[in-house]
Structure 1
Amino acid sequence: MVLSFWAKAARTSPRGVGGLFRATRCAQIPRYVSLAATSRISSVRAYSSAVAVEEKEEASSEVPESQATETEKPPADSLPFSSLRDVVSHETLSAITVRPMKLKDMTAVQAAVLPLMPQLTEPYSPVTADGSQSLPRDLLVKARTGTGKTLAFLVPVIEARIKAIKAHGKKAVLDAGLVSDKHLEARASRIYAKTEVGALIISPTRELATQIANDAIRLTHHHDGFEVRLFVGGSSKGKQVRDWVKGRRDIVVATPGRLRDLLQSEPEIKAGIATTKTLILDEADTLLEMGFRDDIDDIKSYLPPTPERQTFLFSATVSRAIQQVARATLEKNHMFINCVSDDAPPTHAHIPQYHTVLPNAGSQLPYILNLLIHDQLINPGHSKIIVFLPTTKMTQLFSTLLTQLKSALPAGGATKIYEMHSNKAQHQRDATSERFRNDKSGASVLVSSDVSARGVDYPGVTRVIQIGIPASADQYVHRVGRTGRGGVKGGRADLVLLPWEIGFVTWQLTDMPLKPLTVKELSAQVNELVEKLDSSPDEFFKGTQFPDRYDKLGRQRHVVQPYATPYKPVLDAAPDTVKKLLDRVDEDAVKETFASALGFYFGRSPELRVQRSVILQGLRDWTTEAMGLPEPPYVSNQYLQRLGLDDGRTKRFGSPRRDEPRKGNQTSAPWMGRGNTRLRMERERMGDQPRGETEYTPDPRDPSTPPDMYRRPKHISEEQHFNRFEGGESHGRPDRSDRSNSFDRSDRFDRSDRPDRSDRFNRSDRPDRSDRFNRSDRSGGDGSFGYRKRPGAFEHKVTTGTYGVRSGGDSRGRGRQEDDY
């Protein structure tokens, strides 16, 4: 039905198929998709490649090109994947509809892209066989996150790769003057697969890149020998290069930072990438928001030019910056497919969102516990929660606290707690992400920092809880987007704030559909649900299917009612459970968390519309009221200044104007004693210290982590920023193409106004350069010119174990194991 529709439209269109698809709208296509349970497939050897391991299965904006035109809309009924059997190989279609993906119907973006495949999978040729101009092969697709974009671009890439390998093998036989030679054809195909790159997919984050690589593995489940290379930061470069040399290069998934590094340092990878047939920019708008414009331009210089190189560009928006990238990357004769209607609501609009301003810090932990209880009661058998926290230290602390409080939840010890943050090694994060994604326990909680906030798809998330403010309003939206993916109903988002954090809601989240929820209202809802559970458990769990569980010997046992009843006594004892836990909280862990929170919140006082002194007092109250410390942790004034307590003002703020004359004398040149010259003279007088700061002398009573590790960098508006030492990716860097052009060189003052060079000091009066210090005389180890080197992330002490709770010993912690930070 689909193919006949497009064939008929192509015959009746005066512009042919190429004109028909210049601009296609898919917003009217139903978004229904049957998401059956998928096989548990993970990425092994994720440092350099993605290899599938199958386990046991469990029960309208502007268009960049003016030539783009609107066309007829596709049929309104749902499009099944089975309609593609004439244009998709049997192996790929089996992976989609049978095993391992088990999908039935296409989403809107898939229904708009996949029927184009006979055209998209053809190799480049300036003219067709009949002498006419070739049809467009490049795509600009506007589609939101969570709508099935990954499958929409992976299927054409896989089919094009298979077709290219077969064509090369047959060509080798013909070039040898033979009619048929299976051995020669197989050998030529094997060499081609190991030397030529089929597709290069660039993703903004390592988590999303890993997810794309795993989806590619699922789709190629029935294709023999198909391999996927994965280049992401935080992994061994040497292993990535070795696997690149030894293996096939069918699909390469990479983050911009690591790929650019490999291209500049590894000739083997540079030579291989130069043969890329297809380039795909996924989440292009996010790539630009994170400051990867220069990286993309540099990577593009290593690739074949258009139109030899096919390019797909997928983005949730088509802003001016995206249009610039499209013009520079896509062929002029490309297709624009719009899958977002002009009046479509935001992706998070259908998700119920609540915010709670706690009456005091002491209510924080009991309220969070009530949120977990509430979700397990309204979603029995399929509760899946993500808890976001602003800093890594706070993530570690709350992960430990919630693990200790599992006994107070309706599911009790059956609740699984997962922990995700940047202090974990990349392979640990990958494993945690995969376990939580495939979790079928019916009661799971992922405690995470913002490493899980963007792009990663966790199916079945029932609630997102944000403790404290996010880094920005955009980050709030990204976090909320972890639930209700693809328009699926049933998710919920909760924002839990301390009293002094309310300014973020009133000033930064004014456009969000947030509803207020008080502590008493939630408590009343929980008590009502508990009363229903205890009064009639069978009626409460009617129609609920709980997953099968296994005992310690591996024997399967079906659990009809996993929640112990009556639950009311457990709920009433929850405050005492929390109090006993706080008596065991390690003071050092709270002190480190306190310092990290100061660094996070000090940099966001403008967004909160509060003074830093208010933030300081609020966090001190949090340590005593919420964490149970007898008194706030000691932090020296010098440590606080290094964290940014001084509002960034110089030491001369508020002092009277200086009466001393300008440096220099009446006979000196006009530029002496001002600008950079004056600043350099002042630094020399102050011992090379930046203005307004003094050398930090550690106080033994201060937190053990240096304040510079927690301090928010200047001129960075987002929480995460580029850090090459972590091997991570760029976050929060503004798009360089959007910088102001007001300071163009042509706008400078006329150089004729400058004093004549003859008036300047004679260069012969300068001291001889040979008398200066030789570079070899510099002291090593602390960086050049005496500045203290800012400690890198690799200097962190990263160990494993429980963070924040004493494992034994007396009340002062004597006799316990050392906690890691």
Structure 2
Amino acid sequence: MDILNGSKRDLGAGNFGVARLLRHKETKELVAMKYIERGKDVLAKAKTGTGKTVAFLLPSIEVVVKSPPTSPDNKRPPILALVICPTRELANQAATEANTLLKHHPTIGVQVVIGGTRLGLEQKRMQTNPCQILVATPGRLKDHIENTPGFETRLKGVKVLVLDEADHLLDMGFRKDIERILTAVPKERQTFLFSATVPEEVRQMCLVALRRDHEFINCVHEGTGETHQQVRQTHMIASLDKHFSLLYTLLRAHIADNVDYKVIVFCTTAMVTKLVADLLGELNLNVREIHSRKPQSYRTRVSNEFRKSKGLILVTSDVSARGVDYPDVTLVLQVGLPKDREQYIHRLGRTGRKGKEGEGILLLAPWEEYFLSSLKDLPITKSSLPSTDPETVKKVQKALCHVEMRNKEAAYQAWLGYYNSQKMIGRDKERLVELANEFSRSMGLDNPPAIPKLILGKMGLKNVPGLRAK
């Protein structure tokens, strides 16, 4: 849904009317906007990469524009539109988009409250700057409700509530936080709930968050699959000892074929992400990394750089898997087992956005091949392995020797924890440890790193043969 085509000039005149956008092709997304404009609550099922952020921002901004101005004497002016996002990256992205749409309305303020930043700084910013539109992650928003004087009073002015990526919000365990937030905003409001999938948990949330007469709009058009038709999807099966060399070979080949390459490499955990980023850096590739162990200021800076750049590889955990809009990504490479089918689809959705072509490669070990049965209805084909010459293998092994030992130890422990949580693999603990030690050898280690006994106990792996405790 590229609803901004031919419409940004309308915004300059200060007219946010959805009706003016309907002069253009009437898609299901625009039908959803019509219901929103009529004051209806809306549950919208929308594929990733369709521009839904603008779909909820335009009517939210219109509500703010039409609201009477508050008195300058009001020390706690109301927040009129509240947008809740599952991740910090999505929240920052939504706020940036809102500010772009509001460039001709300097008196309307957009503020962001997210974890990873100092609560006191946010409190001060909220007091000194206009904030008619607030974009937030659930945990930090709950912190402000409970710890910032007068904050809950300001939420009593909310006229529009948006729950973005609702399925992901619930997957991440934010249900109780959202329920607390719902008690802080007025019952008489308009609510938009956007979700890529509509499982039972999302339906239950609709009962709590939306009016009974809400509209359900399915923006996934008939006859289209869940993944973009322009994205060529392949999978490769190779033993773990070949993964690092294969990854390097695939990246070098893609770079050679694409002068303006822009690649995202998804890894299973934050510490495996760090390991892979360090390795590719040692191999002199132009690499950045994003994961949950990095400070928010760093993540924001790297995210913005990758959004604007070409000729760059972003190695990331799933903090970049959903909703984040990185234009012109040419390749998404997933290394290891995605958490589930939906995660595979959302990761893939970082490429092929807004009608452009892209490529997706899934690299699995033989014992991960069972995962493909969950993708059997998707247009994903098996690809033969590219030839990896002995010199490349030596080069990768040499680079692995330069990766810090503590990073290898952290990656081993994180890898073990991740696959322990995968039922098909984690239920056989002895086999799990054998595979983990295979991963250890793939990093160039003769012996697997020792793991604290307390952590082994929490994983249910005490006294399993092949593990080293400390």
TM-score, normalisation: structure 2: 0.87
CA distance in 2, matches of 1:377, 1:430: 29
Q: CA deviation at 1:353?
A: 2.0
Note the 1:321-470 alignment, pairs <5 A. 321-348=201-228, 350-358=230-238, 360-380=239-259, 382-406=260-284, 416-439=286-309, 441=310, 443-470=311-338
CA distance in 1, matches of 2:314, 2:232: 20
CA distance in 2, matches of 1:290, 1:284: 10
Higher relative contact order, chain-length normalized (CA < 8 Å, sep 6+): 2
Distance 1:109 1:153, change over 3 A: farther
Q: CA deviation at 1:245?
A: 1.8
Which residue pairs with 2:444 in the alignment?
628
Which residue pairs with 1:747 in the alignment?
none
2:31 is matched with which residue: 112, 118, 122? 112
The total of aligned residue pairs comes to 464
Q: Deviations over 1:674-722 (max 9, x none)?
A: xxxxxxxxxxxxxxxxxxxxxxxxx9x857xxxxxxxxxxxxxxxxxxx
Distance 1:205 1:105, change over 3 A: farther
CA contact (8 A) 1:81 1:105 kept: no
Q: CA deviation at 1:161?
A: 1.3
Which residue pairs with 1:504 in the alignment?
371
Q: Which amino acid aligns with 2:306?
A: F
1:287 is matched with which residue: 169, 178, 187? 169
Q: Deviations over 1:433-481 (max 9, x none)?
A: 1111111x3x210011111112211111111111221222322222122
CA distance in 1, matches of 2:173, 2:276: 31
CA distance in 2, matches of 1:194, 1:91: 26
Distance 1:523 1:230, change over 3 A: same
Asked if residue 518 in structure 1 is aligned to residue 384 in structure 2, the reply is yes
Distance 1:618 1:639, change over 3 A: farther
TM-score, normalisation: structure 1: 0.52
Distance 1:211 1:331, change over 3 A: same
Note the 1:23-422 alignment, pairs <5 A. 31=1, 80-81=6-7, 85=10, 90-91=13-14, 108=27, 111-114=30-33, 120=37, 136-165=39-68, 168=69, 188=71, 190-191=72-73, 195-306=77-188, 309-348=189-228, 350-358=230-238, 360-380=239-259, 382-406=260-284, 416-422=286-292
Distance 1:326 1:391, change over 3 A: closer
CA distance in 2, matches of 1:511, 1:647: 40
CA distance in 2, matches of 1:610, 1:300: 39
CA distance in 2, matches of 1:157, 1:595: 45
1:580 is matched with which residue: 394, 398, 402? 398
Q: Which structure has the highest helix share of the two?
A: 2
Q: Which amino acid aligns with 1:611?
A: D
Where do 5+ consecutive residues of structure 2 fail to align? none
Which residue pairs with 1:590 in the alignment?
408
Q: Which structure has the highest strand share of the two?
A: 2
Note the 1:513-662 alignment, pairs <5 A. 513-519=379-385, 522-523=386-387, 573-604=391-422, 606-608=423-425, 611-624=428-441, 626-629=442-445, 631-635=446-450, 638=453, 641-642=456-457, 644=459, 646=461
Q: Which amino acid aligns with 2:233?
A: Q
CA contact (8 A) 1:473 1:509 kept: yes
CA contact (8 A) 2:231 2:352 kept: yes
Q: Which amino acid aligns with 1:159?
A: E
Note the 1:470-509 alignment, pairs <5 A. 470-486=338-354, 488-506=355-373, 508-509=374-375
Which residue pairs with 1:770 in the alignment?
none
Distance 1:92 1:379, change over 3 A: farther
CA distance in 2, matches of 1:641, 1:163: 58
Higher Cα Rg, which structure: 1
Which residue pairs with 1:45 in the alignment?
none
CA distance in 1, matches of 2:333, 2:365: 14
Q: Deviations over 1:327-386 (max 9, x none)?
A: 44334555444423354321356532222221x433222211111122113322x21111
Q: CA deviation at 1:159?
A: 2.2
Distance 1:302 1:448, change over 3 A: same
CA distance in 2, matches of 1:32, 1:238: 38
Distance 1:161 1:587, change over 3 A: closer
* Aligned-residue identity in percent: 34
Q: CA deviation at 1:512?
A: 4.0
CA distance in 1, matches of 2:279, 2:26: 41
CA distance in 1, matches of 2:371, 2:359: 20
Q: Which amino acid aligns with 1:108?
A: T
Q: CA deviation at 1:514?
A: 3.0
Q: Which amino acid aligns with 2:42?
A: L
CA distance in 1, matches of 2:216, 2:256: 46
Where do 5+ consecutive residues of structure 1 fail to align? 1-30, 36-79, 98-103, 121-134, 170-187, 407-414, 525-570, 650-698, 704-821
CA contact (8 A) 1:420 1:451 kept: yes
Distance 1:33 1:91, change over 3 A: closer
CA distance in 2, matches of 1:201, 1:314: 11
CA contact (8 A) 2:39 2:190 kept: no
Partner-residue secondary structure (3-state), 1:476? helix
Q: CA deviation at 1:239?
A: 1.3
Partner-residue secondary structure (3-state), 1:394? helix
CA distance in 2, matches of 1:620, 1:116: 55
Q: Deviations over 1:74-118 (max 9, x none)?
A: xxxxxx427x94xx661467xxx9xxxxxx97783553355678x
CA contact (8 A) 1:417 1:447 kept: yes
CA contact (8 A) 2:351 2:358 kept: yes
Distance 1:512 1:338, change over 3 A: closer
CA contact (8 A) 1:142 1:340 kept: yes
CA distance in 1, matches of 2:324, 2:139: 19
Q: Deviations over 1:234-275 (max 9, x none)?
A: 221111111222221210111222212221222311111111
Partner-residue secondary structure (3-state), 2:288? strand
Q: CA deviation at 1:207?
A: 1.5
CA distance in 2, matches of 1:648, 1:142: 47
CA distance in 2, matches of 1:637, 1:159: 55
Partner-residue secondary structure (3-state), 2:187? coil
